[in-house]
Chain A
Amino acid sequence: MRGIAKRYPGVMALDGVDLEVRRGEVHGLLGENGAGKSTLVKILAGAVRRDAGTVTIDGREQLLDSPRAAQAAGVSIIYQEFNLVPHLSVAANVFLGREPRGRLPGTLDQPRMNRATAELLRGLEVGVEPQATVARLGVAEQQMVEVAKALSLEARILVMDEPTSALTAREIAQLFRVIRTLRARGVAVIYISHRMEELFALADRVTVLRDGRVVGTRELAAVTRSDLVRMMVGRDLAEHFPRRQVALGAERLRVEGLSRRGALHDISFALRAGEVVGLAGLMGAGRTELARALFGADPIDAGRIWINGREVAIASPPAAVRRGLGFLTEDRKRQGLVLGLDLVANTCLASLDDFSVGGVVRRGREVAATARWVGELRIKTAGLGQPVANLSGGNQQKVVLAKWLCRQADVLLFDEPTRGIDVGAKVEVYQLINRLAAAGKAVLLISSDLPEVLGMSDRILVMHRGRLAGEFAAAAATPEAVLQCALGAQAA
């Protein structure tokens, strides 16, 4: 790709970007949110038209004016949100849009689809049945279906956008094995990820984008992590995990014997004012389920909950919010924000009672409060009246944070607060968590990012299969010990 440019109203999303990817190479694409990675990939996918520049694949210049054209040119993309039809079978998904005809006119050659799909999956060493319904598969398996689909399209360029964000360590290992197999077959893989350790483990070269321009392309063997961070943000990050000195106060939250059939078993713990407690565990260990149960989003079968020393019954999220809980959800676009509404409406959504008199909303007060949080959290926006859909991921996450800050919740459940946001925004989120703790809030920090859990928490709880499998003091915790515990080994 040479001299690629794309202008959106008000922003130059890409400004003369050159990207060269070789056969049999895993090429990392790195950049803060809004750096232009997605736009670049969408152009390659034919989903967005470029304003300028040329794309050459295997020596032939390509127009790429539609997704179909991109497919024909050998480009396949696996987005973060998969493009699978949930209620169709694996084979039907792999062959969607180009099903082999059966003998009778208008029929499909089901056996042939199943055979071919089985063969592809075997090649990937994935134990998925071609007849299985996609909706029943786990995230990692669905991803493998996407890979199989790309292979059946004879993709020569495979783009993967944050492929590991929802995977467990073991699934990641399997994905890496598959990617290496593809590389060995001569496929060029463009790999987008915020997790630098993955790029170091997997990629051959990496291209860093910033503000729609290429900062540089490097051999991964020749750079360090902090080199890349510097390239991404254009400045040195002072401290990744800012320190905090907070004296712990009274108990904010106590949970005893919390159980939910099939998900949570006899969970007991407590959070104190000023404390940040990390909750580690593998995907499916029950961390999100625990937060949802505490928040009244899922019913519980047994267990007692105290907030600020008073026993409470939390039957629904509104009850939880009234009691002083806040829940920053894992899926910010679907569960955290109303994308079509503006910053003001989203920021004040959980605390509208405070901004209304007799059911009438006082817009002036709302705007003033939102303006304050936008300033404090340094949310970048063209205006408070902008729909939050227009913000970048990091800024969207800050709006979710602003919503709970505005609500002045005492106990905050943060589920993957830094997923999919760039390094700079991450540090800002960390600083904010520290400020909340300093202000006497209690924070439960759910995260799959081990360094994050270790760096941010006073204590670390580890879940394994719906149970609390262990607890570590921050000083005593090592990544290895926490991981061992999460994998089900005896706790220390």
Chain B
Amino acid sequence: MKARELIANHARQFGTLAVLLVLGGAISLCTPHFLTVANLLNVAQQTVVNALVAAGLTFVIISGGIDLSVGSILALAGIVMAHALRTGWPAPLAVLAGLAVGAGCGAVNGGLVAFGRLPPFIATLGMMSVARGGALLASDGRPVSGFSAPFRWLATGEVAAVPASVLLLLVVYAAAHFTLQRTKFGRYAFAIGGSEEAALLSGVPVRRYQVGFYAAGGGLAALAAVVLTARLNSAQPIAGLGYELDAIAAAVIGGTSLMGGQGSIVGTLLGAFIMGVLRNGLNLLGVSSFVQQVVIGAVIIAAVLFDVALKRTRR
């Protein structure tokens, strides 16, 4: 009875999980190289960056917004952090500086949306260009490379055979899930996305929270920059190009509504993994990256079509 209720209340998430499992099953039938511990950990590691960005974006989208600037923020935060590391800052401090830049850019986005009354699309489109330009300026257009071993541990280290970055991902997702489901911050994201006016007229400090959602989005993009920089041992000013679209795709595949008011962190994680598994599987099968683009686009469309159909049958 309890299990049935669980499935009924989370039909969409279980649907996404089923898609992920079927997809994995299909790929493992086609190639023996997919279903190995090493490859699966590899998939997880490759999914970390997109999944981190998508987690923050999930809050923004549920609250009725959108953030196109996360890819650029990732690049800017990475460059700032890399410079700090190169000038001899201790790793934790440099990471904090990167996160602060990311959250700060996000807060500016949020401020423009909440207090400047700009449509989120426009505000973050502007920030997308500003942050990218900032990253190029700060790095003179060149990568900043070569970091100490302690910093790189995030990419190279393992805890009980699990890569450190995958562990980080799990911790962040556990925290994000808790925040969305169990805190005021999460509740207000749903309320504001569902009806901004009703939330405001219920006394919810809508503007302040909007700034918070975008700051979380920027902060998590910066956290993704930390992982990416550690892995590549290099921060690139052109890093994160197009990541905003991958992250939006992960959230949407996971059932988050671009209209706001609906979505889940678990869904986004599954969505990110569907994209990761798909890329990995197509790579293993030797499918060209051009075809991969087409396939991933088709999956996004299919996911949304599925959502629309689901809503129609319920009505």
Q: Does B204 contact A (CB under 8 A)?
A: yes
Cβ contact within 8 Å between B202 and A403: yes
- Encode B186-216 as 1/0 by CB contact (under 8 A) with A: 0110110011011111111100000000000
A interface residue count range (under 10 / 10 to 19 / 20 to 34 / 35 or more): 20 to 34
Q: Does A334 contact B (CB under 8 A)?
A: yes
Cβ contact within 8 Å between A360 and B201: no
Cβ contact within 8 Å between B200 and A361: no
Cβ contact within 8 Å between B204 and A318: yes
Q: Give min CB distance, B161 to chain A, whole Å.
A: 33
Q: Does A246 contact B (CB under 8 A)?
A: no
Known interface pairs A338-B195, A338-B261, A339-B195; A352-B201 also in contact (CB < 8 Å): no
Complex: chain B residue closest to A331, CB-CB:
B197
Q: Within the assembled complex, what's the spacing in Å between the Cα atoms of A359 and B190? A: 15
Cβ contact within 8 Å between A349 and B204: yes
Cβ contact within 8 Å between A340 and B262: yes
Which residues does chain B contribute within 8 Å of A329, judged by CB atoms? 201
Q: Give min CB distance, B64 to chain A, whole Å.
A: 11
Known interface pairs A321-B202, A349-B204; A337-B195 also in contact (CB < 8 Å): yes
Q: Does B182 contact A (CB under 8 A)?
A: yes
Known interface pairs A318-B205, A345-B191; A338-B183 also in contact (CB < 8 Å): no
Cβ contact within 8 Å between B194 and A356: no
Q: Give min CB distance, A420 to chain B, whole Å.
A: 17
Which residues does chain B contribute within 8 Å of A352, judged by CB atoms? 184, 187-188, 204
Q: Does A350 contact B (CB under 8 A)?
A: yes
Cβ contact within 8 Å between B184 and A356: yes
Query: What's the dominant secondary structure at chain B's contact region?
Result: helix
Q: Does B185 contact A (CB under 8 A)?
A: yes
Cβ contact within 8 Å between B190 and A321: no
Q: Does A373 contact B (CB under 8 A)?
A: no
Complex: chain A residue closest to B314, CB-CB:
A9
Cβ contact within 8 Å between B203 and A361: no
Q: Within the assembled complex, what's the spacing in Å between the Cα atoms of A335 and B197? A: 5
Q: Give min CB distance, A150 to chain B, whole Å.
A: 26
- B184: which of A334, A337, A359, A407 is its contact (CB, 8 Å)? A359
Cβ contact within 8 Å between A318 and B203: yes
Q: Does A436 contact B (CB under 8 A)?
A: no
Cβ contact within 8 Å between B202 and A349: yes
Which residues does chain B contribute within 8 Å of A340, judged by CB atoms? 190, 194, 261-262
- B200: which of A317, A345, A353, A360 is its contact (CB, 8 Å)? A317
Known interface pairs A345-B187, A359-B183; A337-B203 also in contact (CB < 8 Å): no
Chain A positions 347-377 with a Cβ under 8 Å from a chain B Cβ: 349-350, 352-353, 356, 359-361, 363
Cβ contact within 8 Å between B200 and A297: yes
Known interface pairs A335-B197, A339-B195; A350-B202 also in contact (CB < 8 Å): yes
Q: Within the assembled complex, what's the spacing in Å between the Cα atoms of A407 and B203? A: 10
Q: Does B87 contact A (CB under 8 A)?
A: no
Q: Give min CB distance, B265 to chain A, whole Å.
A: 16
Which residues does chain A contribute within 8 Å of B184, judged by CB atoms? 352-353, 356, 359-361
Which residues does chain A contribute within 8 Å of B36, judged by CB atoms? none
Which residues does chain B contribute within 8 Å of A334, judged by CB atoms? 195, 197-198
Complex: chain A residue closest to B186, CB-CB:
A361
Q: Give min CB distance, A323 to chain B, whole Å.
A: 10
Q: Does B288 contact A (CB under 8 A)?
A: no
Q: Give min CB distance, B264 to chain A, whole Å.
A: 13
Q: Does A187 contact B (CB under 8 A)?
A: no
Known interface pairs A363-B182, A385-B9; A341-B202 also in contact (CB < 8 Å): no
- Encode A394-413 as 1/0 by CB contact (under 8 A) with B: 00000000010001000000
Cβ contact within 8 Å between A338 and B190: yes
Q: Within the assembled complex, what's the spacing in Å between the Cα atoms of A295 and B204? A: 13
- A341: which of B182, B190, B203 is its contact (CB, 8 Å)? B190
Q: Does A488 contact B (CB under 8 A)?
A: no
Q: Give min CB distance, A471 to chain B, whole Å.
A: 27
Which residues does chain A contribute within 8 Å of B187, judged by CB atoms? 345, 352, 361
- B191: which of A297, A317, A341, A356 is its contact (CB, 8 Å)? A341
Which residues does chain B contribute within 8 Å of A385, judged by CB atoms? 9
Q: Give min CB distance, A417 to chain B, whole Å.
A: 14
Which residues does chain A contribute within 8 Å of B205, judged by CB atoms? 316, 318
Q: Does A472 contact B (CB under 8 A)?
A: no
Q: Within the assembled complex, what's the spacing in Å between the Cα atoms of A336 and B204? A: 12
Which of A's residues lie within 8 Å of B, judged by CB? 295, 297, 316-318, 320-322, 327, 329, 334-341, 345, 349-350, 352-353, 356, 359-361, 363, 385, 403, 407
Name 23 interchain pairs, CB-CB below 8 A, sorted by A.
A317-B202, A318-B204, A327-B201, A334-B197, A334-B198, A335-B201, A337-B198, A338-B190, A338-B191, A338-B194, A338-B195, A338-B198, A341-B190, A341-B191, A349-B204, A352-B188, A356-B183, A356-B184, A359-B185, A360-B182, A361-B183, A361-B184, A361-B187
